[in-house]
Amino acid sequence: MELLTAVPLPPAAAAITYDTPVMFLGSCFAGEIGYRMASGKLPVMTNPHGTLFNPFSVARALDRFIGEHVYTEKDLYLHQNRYMSLDHHTAFSSYDRDILTARLNETGRAASGFIRKASFLFVTFGTSYIYNLKESGATVANCHKLPSSLFTRTMASSEEIVGRWKETLDNLAAVNPGLRVWFTVSPVRHLADGAHENQLSKARLLLAAEELLRHPLVHGYFPAYEIFMDELRDYRFYASDMVHPSETAIDYVWGKFSSVFIPGHVLRLWNEAARITRAMAHRLSAETSDTAPFANALIERIRDLKTRAPHLDLSEEEKYFTDLLYKK
């Protein structure tokens, strides 16, 4: 007897392997799936601008990657002696203008190079609500905890989202015609907007994603939102804030995602690499008696995996466990 409503999964015409670079952009869900990909050493870049919630900021980020934008002081916003980029997450701020612009350009160069060679781009929309800076009218990716009086807040229509994204997809096709774009909608609820308003916001994102499936660069829609709303419709699958998915829920959706996109032989290799990278989370002291056997076992496992999969870069992990053996 089935005790849940199973959400049909889309077929994938192409597989993710260790030879297919993947970029994840958008809300927290993109970050969570990208993190799991990276833990198994799959070639991935996740949210180089930081977490982005609205579709317009994600599109702007891509346009800047495509155009190889060079950041200058004109791109920064100054508030109480602190410089920040309103196109980026709050982590992109500094009291030193030059340090911030250097970081923005370093990140931008890496993302510009990556998107040109990427095989897949997964875009996760989080909310239809957008904030515009009053003095310029520009849509911001993050308000950086600035006074709310500096911004206007509106809900974008699905038509506005589609119009903006068609332009970005055309730009992407010009620099990487072989790119496979997939859309998702984040299951994270923006309850600060209101319960009903959150549903309206998600509906517009879903309608926009559906319309964008017509673009030749778009290969599909992955139903992360639907899986969480139907298969995981229980508060035990939420984190303590009752808004974000729990680790169990994310692992469940990751299992669905990997079953669609990652072949069995690749997933087995990913599992081996992920076990090694996760072992680094066990911060052991060199003085502990069980550290040496643990470190030796991991070094042996790393060397065995490197022999079978020389393309995997496990140098950081090997150094970490080797250092544990020789620290006084």
Q: pLDDT per residue over 190-218, tens digit each?
A: 888 888 999 999 999 999 999 999 999 99
Q: pLDDT per residue over 144-196, tens digit each?
A: 999 999 999 999 999 999 999 999 999 999 999 999 999 999 998 888 888 89
CATH of 22-262, one of 3.40.50.300, 3.90.1300.10, 3.40.640.10, 3.40.50.1110: 3.40.50.1110
pLDDT, position 252: 94
Query: Token pair of 258, please?
Result: 């990997």
pLDDT, position 208: 98
Largest interatomic CA distance in the chain: 63
Please give the share of the chain, as a percent, with pLDDT higher than 70: 96
Task: Provide the residue count of the chain.
Answer: 328
pLDDT, position 1: 61
pLDDT, position 236: 84
Q: pLDDT per residue over 230-262, tens digit each?
A: 888 888 888 888 887 889 999 999 999 999 999
Q: pLDDT per residue over 37-55, tens digit each?
A: 999 999 999 999 999 999 9
Top pLDDT among 109 and 285 is at 109
Q: In what order do the strands lie in the sheet with 151-155?
A: 139-140, 129-133, 151-155
pTM of the model: 0.94
Please give the share of the chain, as a percent, with pLDDT higher than 90: 80
3-state secondary structure of 291: helix
- Examine the pLDDT at 328 and tell me if it is beyond 70: no
Confidence of residue 284 (pLDDT cuts 50, 70, 90): low
Confidence of residue 283 (pLDDT cuts 50, 70, 90): low
CA angle 189–195–200, rounded 5-degree value: 80
pLDDT, position 287: 63
Q: What's the CA gap between 143 and 136, in Å, rounded?
A: 14
Q: What's the CA gap between 30 and 61, in Å, rounded?
A: 15
- What is the average pLDDT across 309-327? 89
- What is the average pLDDT across 109-114? 98
Residue 220, phi-psi category: left (phi > 0), alpha (psi -120 to 50), beta (remainder):
left
CA distances (Å), origin 280, targets 271, 315, 320, 321, 322: 15, 13, 8, 8, 12
- What is the average pLDDT across 86-94? 97
- Examine the pLDDT at 81 and tell me if it is beyond 80: yes
pLDDT, position 286: 56
